[in-house]
Structure 1
Amino acid sequence: MKNKKTGNKKAIIWSIIGVLVVALGVTLYAMPKKTNYTEVKATTGNLATNYSFSGSIEAKNRQTVYADKAMQIKDIKVQEGQKVSTDTVLMTTVMGEEIKPQIAGEVSNIDADENAQIMPGAKLIDIVDYSNLQLKVQVDEYDLSAVSTGKDATVTIHALNKDVKGKITDVSKEGDYTNGVTTFTADVSLPNDSSLRVGMSAEAKVLNQSVSNVVLLPMSAIQFDAGNNPYVLIKDSNDLPKTVGITLGLNDGVHVEVKSGVKANDTILVPPIAKATGFGPGAQMKQGGSEASQGSSGGDNGQ
Structure 2
Amino acid sequence: MKRWIWIIISVLVIGFVGYQYYNSKTSSTEATTQVRTATVQKGKLEVKISGSGAVEPVTSEDIKATEDNNEIDEVLVAAGDKVTAGEELVTFTDDSDPITAPVDGTITSVSVKAGERVTSGFAVAHLTNYTDLQTVVQVDELDIPKVKVGQTASLTISAYPDTTYTGKVTAVADEGSSESGSSTFDVTIHIDNPANLKVGMSSEASILTDSKDQALYVPVDAVHTSNNEKYVIVTSGNTSTSEQKTVKTGIANDEYVEITEGVSEGETVQLPELSSSSSSQSQGFMMRGMDGGGGMPPSGGGSQGQGQSSGRSGNE
TM-score for the superposition, normalised by structure 1: 0.57
- Give 1:66's aligned residue: 64
Shift of residue 36, structure 1, vs aligned partner: 3.0
5 Å matches for 1:181-196? 188-196=189-197
Shift of residue 84, structure 1, vs aligned partner: 0.9
Shift of residue 196, structure 1, vs aligned partner: 3.1
Say if 1:138 and 1:184, in contact at 8 Å, map to a contact too: yes
Deviations 1:66-91 (A, max 9, x none): 34444666754433322112454434
SS in 1 for 2:241: strand
Query: Which amino acid is the alignment partner of residue 129 of structure 2?
Result: D
Give RMSD over aligned pairs.
4.7
Shift of residue 64, structure 1, vs aligned partner: 1.6
Give the whole-Å Cα distance in 2 for the aligned partners of 1:76 and 1:83. Answer: 14
SS in 2 for 1:36: strand
5 Å matches for 1:96-245? 99-112=99-112, 114=113, 117-120=116-119, 121-135=121-135, 146=146, 151-159=150-158, 160-161=160-161, 162-169=163-170, 175-176=174-175, 188-200=189-201, 202=203, 206-222=207-223, 229-232=230-233, 234=235, 236-237=236-237, 239-245=238-244
Deviations 1:75-120 (A, max 9, x none): 54433322112454434567788543232211122233x4674542
- Give 1:80's aligned residue: 79
Give the whole-Å Cα distance in 2 for the aligned partners of 1:119 and 1:269. Answer: 73
- Give 2:289's aligned residue: none
Give the whole-Å Cα distance in 1 for the aligned partners of 2:58 and 2:270. Answer: 52
Say if 2:37 and 2:268, in contact at 8 Å, map to a contact too: no
**Consecutive unaligned residues in structure 2, runs of 5 or more:** 1-22, 277-310
How many residue pairs match? The answer is 245
Deviations 1:29-48 (A, max 9, x none): 9xx97633245444332212
Query: Which amino acid is the alignment partner of residue 312 of structure 2?
Result: S
Q: Aligned residues: percent identity? A: 20
In structure 2, relative to structure 1, the CA distance for the partners of 1:185 and 1:248 (3 Å cut) is: same
Say if 1:245 and 1:261, in contact at 8 Å, map to a contact too: no
5 Å matches for 1:282-293? none
Shift of residue 193, structure 1, vs aligned partner: 1.8
SS in 1 for 2:34: coil
- Give 1:278's aligned residue: none
In structure 2, relative to structure 1, the CA distance for the partners of 1:117 and 1:38 (3 Å cut) is: same
**Consecutive unaligned residues in structure 1, runs of 5 or more:** 1-24, 275-295
SS in 2 for 1:80: coil
TM-score for the superposition, normalised by structure 2: 0.55
SS in 2 for 1:271: strand
Q: Which has the higher strand share?
A: 2
- Give 2:35's aligned residue: 37
Shift of residue 185, structure 1, vs aligned partner: 7.4
Shift of residue 154, structure 1, vs aligned partner: 0.9
In structure 2, relative to structure 1, the CA distance for the partners of 1:241 and 1:263 (3 Å cut) is: farther
Give the whole-Å Cα distance in 1 for the aligned partners of 2:34 and 2:193. Answer: 54
Deviations 1:220-278 (A, max 9, x none): 445567987543362x33x244332232523211122344246416374652149xxxx
Give the whole-Å Cα distance in 2 for the aligned partners of 1:217 and 1:143. Answer: 22
Say if 1:146 and 1:206, in contact at 8 Å, map to a contact too: no
